[in-house]
Chain A
């Protein structure tokens, strides 16, 4: 008999069906990958197992853990089981820890809550668990606070909290989504090791096929609250019986069709010449000298008209600082940024004529719009940059054009932003960037927050728009597969410096720099999707 057995699980929240006939099982010492896009019910399945469902939820079917029926168990039994028998690791390590408690205290807390040990023993267990997750005592004493750790280290603490009592089942809900690729690889390896060491069952919930492809023993694919395909990881990708699995797989490795870049004889559109940007660090002592942090150090590159340039790097490498400098939001300390030969900053004020040639699309489709404005007003905002903004019918036509070119209806301009899904919002963000017909669009992680199938559509749209309007893209991302699919050239950035640049295919196939190699090796790959 399996460790966790979910059979015919159905779930309704306030009468709205969320899950229907969901069945899956997790064996001890094995990893089950649960894959699905937003709204597929994968997280709700996990919450059903923990019985941490929102109010108004009604479940049907059976969930048994080690023979104990979870659906019927009284709340007191569930409280005892949560943390002891079933533990959970969440996506966001930045908010999962209490910022005012030391990491040792937080790990020990779970042990004490379940009455397994007194304070001193709990601390000993906490220390040992922290050692096991790769936070050795010499570098990470228990007295550390969460803010002193990096994202990956915090996620290790979260994992330590989850496994301190050696639970039988570990549920990991997108545990590496918020992390950089190299960190992600380390955390995945850690989880795999813990599963084997403790003979623990693990349910790994993710949207990313590539993450589970090499990790999970079995895979369940979910869509709109139902399981569409189940099978061993080794054979599932070969057989792929359900069309949705095939679609998901295709979307994950989607390469949009793009026209070949034009001749490079023309002068470059954007020139970045030995740019440096310093930040003043907060003083640690009242009379101490202020210290500077160099976020971008002597960076130079060019983008040709019609080209798509990728900028790859992990968090904190200076990508965002560079973006802000190019957009003219922050001045630089050294070097210059030229668009069509004109500087972005003339003296210390922004050159409006240059700004008109640039627009930006941000990552978060939920935070990029003022919730109180209608779409027409949101999309028309960049008109402010023009000397004589169009009015009346002209303005209306321009906005309608922009909306149509991103595949939305003209009638959408009278709606508010909350009426749109994440993918549609990102289309509106692109429409906003297009409306004044800029030459350069900076895409700052523009597809990172989207589901794979939506991401594929947006990438197609970007490729088509670039061909149609002769747009130039600066594509900033931490996702190597996306960068590979849509850029001509790529820059690899680390600690404020560009360590490697070249044609995308060349850099990916023959990386010269050590760091580029590390990045490429750390990125999870689909088993049969390696492109030639």
Chain B
């Protein structure tokens, strides 16, 4: 009667094949891995010490010794980019984790009590946080606690909470209407258990995709905060502050701005492509359409 073909939600092997045939995903993964690799490598080795000043060799253009050239204190830009990747990734990763750890449970709770007072409180509080841009929150926090990488993390993390709460609530609400949730309720399971066993596993893919997108936004936000001087403090290198330092010298030393700029561009591009690719793989309808 229902002339519906068998749904192939997770055909074995299909997942991997889809991943390998997705151009977006592979390109995004490659770009992201380059920067993650650079960040990891920087713990063990960098071409030069990023804190060592070498004024005689300042503002050198790219060469065999200094691959990306040197800045106005003679520090090696390639090394600074590597260590800066560390800062960017750490800030974004922790900020996304804060957003997920708080936002997802809040969203699940709001969906489980949809229409009730708990839902209202959570979602209106979300609206309140949403009304402030991340930068504004960061300025408020630094005004109170002083500028540091940690405060940047907290500010970006707070901004992520309503994003995850919303996406969780929206997709969880659709699942609460499913028959399998109804039959779990018939089996006497409570809202917490149903959320953990039936709702969360079925929205995990959405959350992962949103996570990669928020991750790239986190890197942008960290760069923005550092640019205005509210992020990581010297001498810790940061892509955003490298950009800020370079702006007065952009007419005679453009490479100072170019390399951190491109680093931000390619990392964010890579993460977004990866997010797109992951979404295509997780959503069977899109996968079939593009197959």
Chain A residues within CB distance 8 Å of chain B: 37-39, 42-43, 174, 177, 207, 327, 329, 350, 352, 355, 358-360, 362-364, 366-373, 381-385, 416, 418, 421-422, 429, 432, 448-451
Contacts and interface: CB of A to CB of B under 8 A. Distances in A.
Contact of B9 (A174, A350, A371): A371
B188 A352 contact: yes
B2 A422 contact: yes
B188 A385 contact: yes
A366 B1 CA distance: 13
A359 B184 CA distance: 11
Given A329-B186, A352-B188, A368 B10 contact: no
Contacts of B7: 366, 371, 418
28 contacts: A38-B2, A38-B3, A39-B3, A42-B3, A174-B3, A207-B1, A329-B186, A350-B188, A355-B186, A364-B179, A368-B180, A368-B183, A370-B180, A370-B197, A371-B202, A372-B201, A373-B197, A381-B184, A381-B189, A382-B187, A382-B188, A384-B189, A384-B193, A416-B10, A418-B8, A418-B9, A448-B1, A449-B2
Contacts of B201: 370, 372
Contacts of A449: 1-2
Contacts of B6: 418, 421
A418 B2 contact: no
Interface in B1-56: 1-4, 6-11
Interface string B184-218: 11111100010001100110000000000000000
B48 to A, nearest CB: 50
Contacts of B189: 381, 384
A329 B183 contact: no
Contacts of A371: 7, 9-10, 202
Interface string B96-115: 00000000000000000000
Contacts, number: 83
Given A207-B1, A418-B10, A368 B179 contact: yes
Contacts of A381: 183-184, 187, 189
Given A367-B179, A370-B180, 16 more contacts: A174-B1, A329-B182, A329-B185, A329-B186, A352-B188, A358-B186, A366-B2, A381-B184, A381-B187, A384-B187, A384-B193, A385-B187, A385-B188, A422-B2, A422-B4, A450-B1
Nearest to B7: A418
Nearest to B193: A384
A329 to B, nearest CB: 6
Which of B9, B11, B183, B186 has the largest number of chain A CB atoms within 10 A? B186
Given A367-B179, A372-B201, A38 B1 contact: yes
B10 to A, nearest CB: 7
Nearest to A368: B179
A37 B2 CA distance: 9
A305 B197 CA distance: 34
Contact of B186 (A38, A360, A366, A369): A360
A370 B202 contact: yes
A105 B10 CA distance: 41
A100 B271 CA distance: 36
A130 to B, nearest CB: 29
Q: 6 shortest A-B CB distances, which residue pairs?
A: A368-B179, A362-B179, A385-B188, A382-B187, A367-B179, A372-B201
A177 B179 CA distance: 21
Contact of B178 (A39, A329, A367, A384): A367
A177 B186 CA distance: 29
A298 B7 CA distance: 42
B47 to A, nearest CB: 47
Nearest to A173: B3
A177 B183 contact: no
A448 B10 CA distance: 27
A448 B2 CA distance: 10
A308 to B, nearest CB: 20
Contacts of A177: 1
A50 to B, nearest CB: 15
B9 A327 contact: no
Contacts of A421: 6
Given A362-B183, A367-B179, A367-B180, A355 B188 contact: yes
Contacts of B182: 329, 360, 362
A367 B180 CA distance: 7
Contacts of A42: 3
Contacts of A369: 180
Interface string B119-141: 00000000000000000000000
A385 B197 CA distance: 16
Contacts of A385: 187-188
Given A177-B1, A355-B188, A384-B188, A432 B9 contact: no
B1 A451 contact: yes
A329 B7 CA distance: 29
Nearest to A14: B291
